[in-house]
Structure 1
Amino acid sequence: FPNVSEMSLSGLTLVEGKAMMIKGIKRKYHERFDLSLMVAVPKQITIYVTGQVDGPGLRTVYDSTRISHVLKSVGVAKGGSDLSESVYLKRQTENGSFDEYKLKLHDIFLANDAKQNMALQNGDIIAVPSIKSYVYIYGEVSRGGTFGYVPGQTLSDYINVAGGPTARANLDSVTVTRQEDGRPKVYHINASQILHRGETEKDLEIIPGDVISVPGNFFYFSDFASFANTVLLALTLYTAVAGR
């Protein structure tokens, strides 16, 4: 295709580069054609990763590697991570200054947003701030709510942190809801065996984002008297009406 001008494919994947070349060729030629595009030796670039990551420092990756690949390799966005947070990418411009991009983890990993999941260039700096992680517990505990994630803590630890179960708690039917591969998975746990019988091997280690639910018993003794009085009153009224 001698009449097609030079094309820059920097920052594009093979699929994106092929699509761009086909579009450019079709501007000059209307005949049918087949185009194959491959890279014999991918160019390597050096980037720097800093912040709350596993093993910060210099890393060598292939040119145009997406930021999601690097973030996964340094421990960001593990199962249960809070994907509402953001990371930052700094890129040097031709005049020596730096452009900074704020990139949302949700858009990078779940929304498949190519503008957020940027292709990396040589010299890029990825900064990962401290990502807040939480555990949520509600239901029949003394102080339900949001608690900071502490590595290594288990279900029983968080129930105790929340003030322990109330008298009406049904510990046989505790659930832990966890995001796995983008979908919620529910673990059904008999916490009574853990808290009252000491069967610690059945305790579940909690990860960031877990939601712990402690249900209540349908009947509880203090409520039973009220329930019985209500039934007795209803029967009395029914008897009185039926006897007329």
Structure 2
Amino acid sequence: MAKRGILGRAMGLGLAVVASLLLATAATAQIPGPEIVAGDVLQMMVPGRPDLDRTLVVAQDGSVEIPQVGEVRLAGMGLTEAGMVLKQRLRLIAPTLDTVEVTRADAVGFRVYVIGEVGHAGLHEFASPPTVWDVVRAAGGPLRSADLRKARVIREQEGGPRTIEMDLSGLMAGRDFPLERLRNGDTIVVPALPERVSGVASDGGVKVFGGVAVPSIVPVDGPTPLMDVLMLAGSPTAEANMKKIWWVHAADGKDQARLVDLRLFLEKGDPAGNPDIHPGDTVNVTLSRPGRLQSGIGFLLGTAAAVAAIMVALNQVD
């Protein structure tokens, strides 16, 4: 009886160990690995059919080439799912095939593509899921021509690509930018600003328009003399009225407009004609245009001179 009890306990212990191993194996098998993406190098092994073993490179369209069965799309799948798909395709030439094992020979981690106005567009790889800031920083940061407010992420998923709009204008200031982590295979698109349009936020610069070469929001990070602000906007044009420049500045919780005569500074060095302009301010350089009376007088004088010249010429002929 004692021997039977010992034997029973030993068998029970053995079964418990086996069950634990099976559970551990099942749990491990359920852990999903990184999805297959373009550029991955896979190793396909077919037990009992070494002639079918081969190294597969995932092409840019997400497919691999197997001479016996042609192209098979694997992008977006886990390794287990890829093995099942390959097994079904290989059964076309080997109907009794039971198992196909797929391993990653060259794991790339997480890949994100960046297109558009960044320092280094192209493919960037990361060991773990990156944030938008991680990717933009790895891509060399945005160019001055980048329209960060209209950036977007293109994500491949079932049913086709999905576009996610993102406002990245707060990136460089370290505020108000997405904290969501990107997925393997995502693409960030940073479009270009329209020609002669500034990408500076209104509270990070001065809005300048009117008689300047490049009306835009010019970047300033503190009080800046009016003349400097105008030069950042491409300088005043020939039609600019230097004596009449409107400056709008927020004071005591409300906007206040002031007329500035820049010629006081240019002709006399008077600082009243070159006040400090602050981020968030607005500057309107008015245009000098001849009045209707001036234009009419000029036209009449020109016509009279022409008539006189014709009469002189006729008299000389006579």
- Provide TM-score, normalisation by structure 2: 0.39
**Higher RCO (C-alpha under 8 Å, 6+ residues apart):** 1
State which structure, 1 or 2, has the greater radius of gyration over its C-alpha atoms. Answer: 2
Q: From the two aligned structures, give the one with the greater strand fraction.
A: 2
Normalization by structure 1: what TM-score? 0.49
